[in-house]
Amino acid sequence: MSELNPAILLFEDGRIFQGNAFGHTGETTGEVCFNTGMSGYQEILTDPSYCKQIVTMTAPHIGNYGVNPEDIESERVQVAGFVIKEETAVPSNWRSTQSIGEYLDAHKIVGIQNVDTRAITRHLRDQGAMNGIISSVDLNIDSLKEKLVKVPSMAGLDLAKEVTTDSSFEWSKNGSTGNYKVAAIDFGIKHNILRLLESHGCDVTVFPANTSADDILKFDPDGVFLSNGPGDPAAVTYGIEMVKQLVGKKPIFGICLGHQILALALGAATFKLKFGHRGINHPVRNEDNGVVEISSQNHGFVVDPESLPKNVVQTHVNLNDNTNAGIRCDDMNAFSVQYHPESSPGPHDSRYLFQQFADLMNSH
The predicted pLDDT at position 178 comes to 79
Q: Which band of pLDDT confidence, cut at 50, 70 and 90, is reported for residue 176?
A: low
CA–CA dist 167, 313 (Å, integer):
34
Q: Does residue 333 share a domain with residue 231?
A: yes
Last residue of a domain, one of 116, 148, 180: 148
Instruction: Name the residues annotated as catalytic.
Output: 256, 340, 342
User: Could you give the number of structural domains in the chain?
Assistant: 2
Q: Does residue 183 share a domain with residue 130?
A: no
Contact 40, 192 (CB under 8 A): no
pLDDT of 21 higher than 80: yes
Nearest to 153 by CA among 180, 131, 120, 182: 131
pLDDT single digits (tens) 92-129: 999 999 999 999 999 999 999 999 999 999 999 999 99
The single-letter DSSP state of residue 2 is P
Q: What percent of the chain has pLDDT over 90?
A: 97
The chain-wide mean pLDDT, for the chain, equals 96
Contact 81, 104 (CB under 8 A): no
Last residue of a domain, one of 148, 169, 189: 148
pLDDT single digits (tens) 49-89: 999 999 999 999 999 999 999 999 999 999 999 999 999 99
pLDDT single digits (tens) 235-283: 999 999 999 999 999 999 999 999 999 999 999 999 999 999 999 999 9
CATH for 196 = 3.40.50.880
Residue 11 covered by a domain: yes
pLDDT of 10 higher than 70: yes
Q: Which residues share a beta bridge with 284?
A: 293, 318
Residue 1 covered by a domain: no
CA–CA dist 119, 137 (Å, integer):
24
pLDDT single digits (tens) 186-243: 999 999 999 999 999 999 999 999 999 999 999 999 999 999 999 999 999 999 999 9
The predicted pLDDT at position 132 comes to 98
CA–CA dist 308, 180 (Å, integer):
30
Q: DSSP string covering 267-293, please? A: T--EEEEEEEEEEEEEEEEETTT--EE
Q: Does residue 174 share a domain with residue 136?
A: no
The predicted pLDDT at position 78 comes to 98
Torsion sign across C-alpha atoms 233, 236, 241, 247 = negative
CA distances from 110 to 50, 199, 339 (A): 14, 36, 28
Q: Does residue 118 share a domain with residue 97?
A: yes
Task: Check: pTM over 0.85? Answer yes or no.
Answer: yes
Q: Does residue 113 share a domain with residue 179?
A: no
The predicted pLDDT at position 1 comes to 41
pLDDT single digits (tens) 300-357: 999 999 999 999 999 999 999 999 999 999 999 999 999 999 999 999 999 999 999 9
Residue 345 covered by a domain: yes
CA distances from 349 to 26, 208, 284, 343 (A): 40, 29, 10, 9
User: Domain range spanning residue 10?
Assistant: 6-148
The predicted pLDDT at position 174 comes to 60
Residue 154 covered by a domain: no
Residue 118 covered by a domain: yes
